[in-house]
Structures are given as structure tokens and as C-alpha cells.
Amino acid sequence: MDTAAGRVSALSFPRNGKENQVNRSTPNNRLALVLTLVIAALSSAHASTPEPVHATAAHNEALVRKAFIDWSAGNGTVFALLSPDVVWTVHGSGSVAGTYQGVDAFVEGAAAPLTRRLARPLVPKVHAIWAVGDTVISRFEAESTTTGGRPYTNQYVWIFRMEDSVVVEAEAFLDLAAYDKVVAENTAR
């Protein structure tokens, strides 16, 4: 009887009626075996996640972070990371919502209608950048002044899927009503 727990332990009584030395040490052996299996499973799980996945995420995050730093300093934009064949989806129900095939289609169809109505380039302020595998997520706000002299500010979340250091797929979430208002109320330059 296991007096601490107040119950009979099947591990302390041999099943064949004879005293068995193995059964007396079984709880410790089983604990050791379980711990060994857990450690082996964890080691195996870690080993099955290739290190390049982590390295790829860190590399992609660094590329996107640097592109945002350069953009905010007026030295280029994140668009320099786009593959010529990028597939860019703007989510929502505004005038530019949809999927654009290729960088030229995206720039002309979604970016230029806004940027042509801004007196100066957008300046981003990054709130967070996360990377997992080949995906990089950026949350930022950007501001500028419209050609009509009014401020423009918007919040963005961009999700990039990258291959070989370039963005091959992108998804954008933003306030399309604010975007559409700038396009409707300002003259293109």
C-alpha cells in the first residue's frame, strides 16, 4: 500500500505473486524512460525544423526592416523588394481593392492614384515587423500632405511572402475610405 497516497500501487506488487526486484525500481525506471522519450521527442522535433527556415525568416525580416528604414529616411521604398511578377492583393471594398498581377499593374492601379495626389512622399512609421519562414508582416502608419494641403495619415498591415529575397506575393490592409477621399478630393500632380 502506498501510504502517502492512501491507495494500493500496482507497481509495488508483483503480478506472479513472487517478489520481483524489477518492480520495486519500476517507478524510477519508468520516470527515467518517460523523461528520456520526452527529451528525444523534443530533440527530434527541433532537429526536424531546418535551421534555414529560421535563417530565412531573419534574413527576410532584416531586408524588410532595412527597406522601411530607408523609406522613412527618404532613400527609396519597400517597393524595391517587389518581384516584377508580384501578386499584390489590396483587401477591402474601396476603389483600388483587388488583386494586381505584376509590379507595374500594382503601381499604376493602386499606388500611383494616391501618390500622385500627395505633395510629398509618404513617410512610414513602423510599429512592428514579424517574420515566420518566408512570410514577413509589417504594421505601420504613413503620413504625408495632399496636393490640396491637407494631412493624409493611414494605418497599414502588409503581409509579404518572399522567395530569394524578393516579395512574390503581398496582401495589404488599410483604410480604403481615407485613400479614396484623397483620390476624390485632390488634383493629381
What CATH number should be reported for the domain holding residue 141? 3.10.450.50
Q: Is residue 4 part of a domain?
A: no
What per-residue confidence (pLDDT) applies to 54? Answer: 86
What per-residue confidence (pLDDT) applies to 21? Answer: 46
What per-residue confidence (pLDDT) applies to 101? Answer: 98
Do 140 and 173 share a domain, yes or no? yes
What per-residue confidence (pLDDT) applies to 3? Answer: 45
CA distances from 105 to 85, 91, 96, 99, 156 (A): 10, 16, 11, 9, 20
pLDDT-flagged residues of the chain (< 70): 1-53
What per-residue confidence (pLDDT) applies to 34? Answer: 56
Strand segments (E) across 6-134: 82-90, 98-101, 123-132
Phi/psi region, residue 134 (left: phi>0; alpha: psi -120 to 50; beta: rest), is: alpha
Run of H or E including 42: helix 21-48
Q: Which residue has the cell 496636393?
A: 147
Number of separate domains in the chain: 2
Do 94 and 144 share a domain, yes or no? yes
Q: Is residue 171 part of a domain?
A: yes
Do 74 and 160 share a domain, yes or no? yes
Q: What is the pLDDT of residues 120-156, one digit of tens each?
A: 999 999 999 999 999 999 999 999 999 999 999 999 9
Q: Is residue 31 part of a domain?
A: yes
Structural domain range at position 94: 51-185
For strands 166-174 and 82-90, give the pairing: parallel
Do 81 and 15 share a domain, yes or no? no
What per-residue confidence (pLDDT) applies to 5? Answer: 43
What per-residue confidence (pLDDT) applies to 83? Answer: 98
Q: Which three cell numbers stand for residue 156?
A: 497599414
Q: How far apart are alpha carbons 27 and 18 in whole angstroms? A: 18
Do 16 and 31 share a domain, yes or no? yes
Do 66 and 113 share a domain, yes or no? yes
Do 119 and 66 share a domain, yes or no? yes
What per-residue confidence (pLDDT) applies to 28? Answer: 58
For strands 135-145 and 166-174, give the pairing: unpaired
What per-residue confidence (pLDDT) applies to 38? Answer: 56
